[in-house]
Amino acid sequence: MLYYLFEFLEQNYDFPLENLYKFLSFRAGAAIILSLVISIFFGKKIIKYLQKLSVGETVRDLGLDGQKEKEGTPTMGGLIIILAIVIPTILLAKVGNVYIILMLAATLWLGLIGFIDDYLKVFKKDKKGLSGKFKVLGQVLLGLVVGIVMLASDSMTVVVKAADAKSEGYEILDTYKKDPLKEGFLTEYAVVKSTLTNVPFLKDNELDYARLLWFLDYAQAKKYVFLIFIPVVIFIITAVSNAANLTDGIDGLATGTSAIIGATIGLLAYVSGNVIAANYLNILYQPNTGELVIFAASMIGACMGFLWYNSFPAQVFMGDTGSLVLGGIIATLAILIRKELLIPILCGIFVAESLSVVMQVSYFKFTKRRYGEGRRIFIMSPLHHHYQKKGIPEAKIVTRFWIIGIFLAVITLVTLKIR
């Protein structure tokens, strides 16, 4: 909103800040600061209010050290994260941008699902909370909306060589006859609607989802690409959102990991929306994705601010209100900037946590049928509880997972040049 206000002031009055507000770096920095202030300042007030309502976590006895001390710690702290993301984004981003609208909708929608789940657990004393099928249904609906908007919106475009656009039969919305930067990067390039995405480690690193319908003629495949594209989007959003939920098991783990991932996706969004950087890195240039940097910056600040209270020993838990939101945000951002195939690397911590549960449950059921008694691969799953059972202090587990998360983030960025 402030962007449009400053634009109006510049056009009609002698605005002292000149064009400063137009720079993504300035608005991103302001978004981090504002989200930090909101999460730290208002977070304290929200925590006190939650304590007043006796919104305390009922900790299931898992036989882990320090569990009893966590009993009664306020939950639903994800409300702090949501406020610290939504407010700076609305104030500092171009709210008319379709990417921003979609991200805000995803944040509020998943926040509502998580809030209902936490509300049932805390106020209605229902230990199971919202039924798993309803959570998944909500995530599926979000994936469906994201997929449909990406296929239908004329604002969600990529820039390719004009010759390739014609040969592939893409719907061309605009062409660059002259280079706006006078450096030859966009000469004879076309703005198109497509289901292209970047593929890591490959020289010709663009994949059109329509190509996966290999049994159809390409022109026909593009008409039916939604049959594969939308299910992929739904799967990614559902998987990452639930994986973040599983990771939220010890103080600061999901929060810090999400901040690292958010910073990486913010960088990827910046280079994807910058013509010079996209050309240099040989990745898809998406003219309208730059505003996602503001959203990612708000997410980073929100996570850092929430970590002020969520670090060991936690004064508040985010609950499903926060974990479902963070996972869904990460997945949706990656899909929108067409870097979803980097998720297994970037979100390696989430992947490991999810796989540990899948492996544990599957192996237990298999051995129970085979040998009459269930056996386990890990002492306990998700993975962080395995290390807790081995006697490693909670704070050390979290710090080591953060280090691994940073390592994976660096690898993710390096893949842009390794092909």
pLDDT tens, residue by residue, 84-139: 999 999 999 999 999 999 999 999 999 999 999 998 988 887 778 888 899 999 99
159 pLDDT tier (thresholds 50, 70, 90)? confident
301 pLDDT tier (thresholds 50, 70, 90)? very high
pLDDT score, position 57: 60
d(CA 111, CA 82): 7
Residue 300 to residues 87, 100, 334, 394, Cα–Cα distance (Å): 14, 16, 15, 23
At residue 296, does pLDDT exceed 90?
Answer: yes
pLDDT score, position 82: 97
Q: Which carries the bigger pLDDT value, residue 60 or residue 298? A: 298
d(CA 39, CA 332): 22
pLDDT score, position 209: 93
pLDDT score, position 11: 73
Radius of gyration, alpha carbons of the chain: 23
Task: Name the burial class of residue 112, with classes exposed (0-12), middle (13-18) and buried (19+) by CB atoms within 10 angstroms of its CB.
Answer: middle
pLDDT score, position 37: 95
pLDDT score, position 63: 60
d(CA 168, CA 161): 11
Which residues are within 8 A (CB) of 396 and not within 5 positions of it... i.e. 6 or more apart?
Answer: none
Give the predicted TM-score (pTM) of the model. 0.92
Q: What is the mean pLDDT of residues 67-73?
A: 70
d(CA 189, CA 157): 13
Which residues are within 8 A (CB) of 104 and not within 5 positions of it... i.e. 6 or more apart?
Answer: 86, 89, 90, 95
The residue among 41, 35, 7, 36 whose CA lies nearest residue 21 is 7
At residue 188, does pLDDT exceed 80?
Answer: no
pLDDT score, position 169: 77
Six token digits for residue 201: 């480690």
> 């990406």: which residue's tokens?
150
The residue among 113, 112, 89, 116 whose CA lies nearest residue 102 is 89
At residue 184, does pLDDT exceed 50?
Answer: no
59 pLDDT tier (thresholds 50, 70, 90)? low
**Torsion angle, alpha carbons of 17, 23, 26, 32, to 10:** 140
pLDDT score, position 1: 73
Most confident range, picked from 14-18, 148-152, 153-157, 311-315: 148-152
pLDDT score, position 238: 96
Most confident range, picked from 14-18, 216-220, 241-245: 241-245
Q: Which carries the bigger pLDDT value, residue 179 or residue 172? A: 172
On average, the pLDDT of the chain sits at: 88
**Residue percentage of the chain with pLDDT more than 70:** 91
Q: Does the N-terminal peptide bond of residue 88 adopt cis geometry, omega within 30 degrees of 0? A: no
pLDDT score, position 60: 58
pLDDT score, position 64: 64
At residue 227, does pLDDT exceed 70?
Answer: yes
Report the range of poorest mean pLDDT among 58-72, 75-89, 392-406: 58-72
pLDDT single digits (tens) 319-360 = 999 999 999 999 999 999 999 999 999 999 999 999 999 999
